Every structure is written in structure tokens, then in C-alpha cells.
Chains A and B, each alone.
Chain A
Amino acid sequence: MGGDIENKEVQRPAPDINQDTAFFWEGAKEGKILIQKCSSCGRLRHPPRPACPYCHSFEWETQESSGRGTLYSYTVHHHPPLPGFDLPVVVALVELEEGTRLVANLLDVEPDRIEIGSAVTATFIDGPNDLRLPAFRVD
């Protein structure tokens, strides 16, 4: 579990990246979780998209997350086998304290002791194609 989720022989699936999403993956390489922020109305949004669904502005900037959040939901994947992963793997849905949620792995935790609502803090792990991926540990 935890730090052993990387199977080094086959890399896990890489994200497809385009002009709308590159900032997130570049930020992760620098150890930052960047959240897209509307420059017009100031609302945060994730996953990234070209325009603000609230005020329809195309202007946006980013806000760096504190990396602190709570566990909103999770699954422990047992079957079928996944390329690039040793199973079981814990996939978490984390609600960042800024208010947006994101999917990431939960590290170093016993699957039967995971509790929704737990405080979690971000870290980063090696991903495919020299990317870094956000991950979380329970505080």
C-alpha cells in the first residue's frame, strides 16, 4: 500500500494535456496544486475549463492551494488489474480547504481504517512521462 503503489515496469496512464489544463500539470511538477480562478468573478473551479460557468468570462488565473483538505469520498480498487498499479490502490476524492475537490491517491493508509471527513494534506509522487501527481496523507 501507500508508497508502494508504483509498479515500475509499466507506467500508470498519463493524462492527456492541452492548453486548458497544462497549468495544473506544470504546477504539480513544482509541488503545487493550482486551482483555476475566474479573473472576473473570482470563483474557483476544478477540473479546469476554458470559461467560467458562472459569469462566462474567458479570463482566468490560478490560486495555489494550501494542500490541506478533507476526505470527501474514496474507493479501494481491488479488481481488475490496472496498468502501472500494485493493488489494492486507494483513490480519494479530496475537498480542498479552498472549496474545490480533486481526485488523487491516498498514501500510507490501511484500507479498513479510512474515514470520510478525515483531515488530509497533499504531497506529490512521481507520475508517468516525468510528471508529478498530487497525492494525500491523512494528518
Chain B
Amino acid sequence: VTVGGHTAIVGIGATEFSKESGRSELRLAVEAISSALADAGLVPGDVSGFATMGIDTNEEVEIAKSLGTDDLRFFAQTPYGGGSGCGVVMLAQMAVACGQADVVVCYRAMNERSGVRFGQARTRPFNVRYGWSSPFGLLTAAAKGALLARRYMYDFGATSEDFGRVTVVERAYAATNPSAWFYEKPITLEDHQASRMIADPLRLLDCCQESDGAVAIVVTSLDRARDLKQPVVEIRAAAQAASWDQEVVTAYYRDTISDQPEMVLLAEQLFRKADIDRGDVDVANFYDHFTPLVLMQLEGFGYCGPGEAKDFVREGGLAIGGALPLNTNGGQLGEGYIHGFNGIAEAVRQVRGTAVNQVPGAAVALVTSGSSVPTSGMILAKA
């Protein structure tokens, strides 16, 4: 049984991306969902399911109480933080394809800058696995990712400048995106090199933003999508992926750590389900919490060989007109950090043909969720 090819994203909505929303996370969620339903031409009474990331604080029934949605038939969450975003849409896809729900709204809402900041050292509920990192000072995602990045540099001769070129490209996209926090604020490689060290080799400008905001995505059947307001964006494939000896950023114990077997597994599933080759992808949105992990994703998806992503980026591969225009909204480095949900919305806009940095004729978009963690991804296509 396959569910691919039967579902579509029919609505997207978002709040502004800021550093202090001044509103509750629940309100942000309800605002984004209301906007997404209006975008689709649907009303709250049409919704029969809600799905979000396990890390989201907004319970499905609390959302329903504000929207006035009754007869809720599906509610579900996916684990593993930033890796779980596209997995939420996968759950919605399965619920719709299996007939459990007709319209499912996926959402992620957070005051991640004005509230609990993920970039800070944080205490956690009881979990023995943090015992192998926290007592030694690995208390931030950046520090954990830095160990992977440093070994990647050693294995492949990549440099801090190679990481910085990812930020420069994304900030150029953000500079022309009015929704981006860094709208009209492009940077140079020199700016990147002058930014302060956070967790060597990661500089400030290698790290995604911390943001307040919300994004919502409406999923329904392909048949129903054809009767709704927007150009139809089909979910051609959605999948989750975790590999041998998988950990959450701290997969330090595999034979090699400068590659991402979970991304290889994700790529294999997505291209097979969507029945396309990687070369058929017109535009991509890769999860960009830290720049070296963007390079590793390019390699995991086979757009270049091991260690060659630095050359791919240097040669303009991520620009419009390049081999794989990437994070055309400015990504989480430039637009905002909504745990990858804003990247899903950008992929939808690209396929609709309504992105501010539109890839001409884009018909197929690839999206990933967090890398170096149990992850997920999607391929969206013009129906």
C-alpha cells in the first residue's frame, strides 16, 4: 500500500517572524491556522484533524477550542524536534489517505526567542543519553553540531569560509523577501568571518536565528484539492528516516561522522516514492540550523560526492539558475526559525509559482527537516 500521490497541500499561513511576538504561542498557532484555512478557501468546520511536532506546546484540542472545530477525528505528533516537521505532514497525508480525516491542519508555533530559547544551555527531563554529553559541556545544539563540523573539515578540507558561503547565499535571498527577519540585510563572506565564535568551528552566522512565529499547512485529498482555491500542490512523497546508531545530533559513534546516513535513507525513499530522479528537483528547502549540515545534506542527497558540497556552493549551485536553488526564502538563517515549517511553506509557494524569489517554472520541490537527527522530508509537485 502506498499513500503517495493521493494528497495535496491546499493552504499555507503564517504570522510575522519576529524576536518578540508579544502574544501567546497558542494565539500564534490559531492566527497561522486561520490564515492557512483562508488561503485554502476552507473554514474551521471543514477541519477534522490536527498534527504538530511533539515539541510544540499547543495541544490539538486547545487549537480546536479557539477555532470552534468540533468532531475532531485525528490528532498526532512526531518526535525529535527539528527533525519532525515534514513527518507531521506525513502523518496528515496518511490520515487523509487512509480515510481517517478529510482535512488535516499541520502547525508549528513558538516564542522561541522571547520565550524558551533553544540556543541556550537547557535542562532536560530525565534521560540517560544526555549523560554522555551534558556533564562535559555539550549543552547546546551548536556545540553538538560543532563536533560533526570539525571532523567534516578534517576529513574533506572544508573551511569556515566554505560554511560561510551558505549563509551569504541565504541572506541574499532573505534580503529580497519582505517576510524575512533579515529583509534588506545581505551579508558578505567578510561579515561571516568577522562574526564571533559560538562553538568552534561554528560562528554566529553559521547558526540559524531564534524566532517567534507560527506556520500552518493544510492537507487534504488530491481530489478535494482540485475544487479549492489555490493551484494544486501534490504531496508526491513524504517519509521519515533514522539510521544505524542514530542519535539526536550526537551520533558520534558510527564508523564515520562526516556523513549523514539518515539523509541517504530519506533521499532513497523520497525519490523512489515520487518516482523521480534528484535531477528532476527544481528547488529545495534544506533544514539549515547550522551551515555545515547543509553541506552534508547536499552530499547525502547525492547532489555531489562526499566532501564536494563546498565546491558545489562555491560554483553557485544554490543560486537561482544554479543546479539546486536552495532556501529561496532565506531559510532559517535569513527568514526565520520556525523549526523548518517556514521551509515547507516556501516549497509550496515555489510550486504554486508565487515565491518572492521564484525559480522560473518550478514544478518539483524537495524539503527536508532537521539533519543529524531522526529526520523527515517531502517532495511536492505541481499536479
> Chain A interface (Cβ within 8 Å of chain B)?
5, 12-18, 20-21, 25, 46-47, 53, 72-83, 85, 89, 91, 93, 100-105, 111, 116, 127-128, 131, 133
Contacts and interface: CB of A to CB of B under 8 A. Distances in A.
A89 B134 CA distance: 13
Given A21-B131, A76-B199, A133-B136, 14 more contacts: A13-B135, A13-B139, A14-B135, A15-B131, A17-B128, A47-B132, A47-B253, A53-B245, A73-B151, A73-B154, A74-B147, A75-B143, A79-B196, A102-B132
Contact of A101 (B119, B121, B199, B253): B253
A73 B148 contact: yes
5 contacts: A13-B123, A15-B135, A47-B132, A77-B146, A131-B135
Interface string B108-145: 00000000000111010011111111111111100100
B135 A128 contact: yes
B137 A91 contact: yes
Contacts of A102: 132
A72 B189 CA distance: 29
Contacts of B135: 12-15, 127-128, 131, 133
B156 interface: no
A80 B126 contact: no
Given A46-B253, A91-B143, A78 B132 contact: no
Contacts of A93: 147, 151, 252
Contacts of B120: 80
Interface in B344-378: none
B132 A77 contact: no
Contacts of A76: 197, 199-200
A102 B250 CA distance: 11
B13 to A, nearest CB: 32
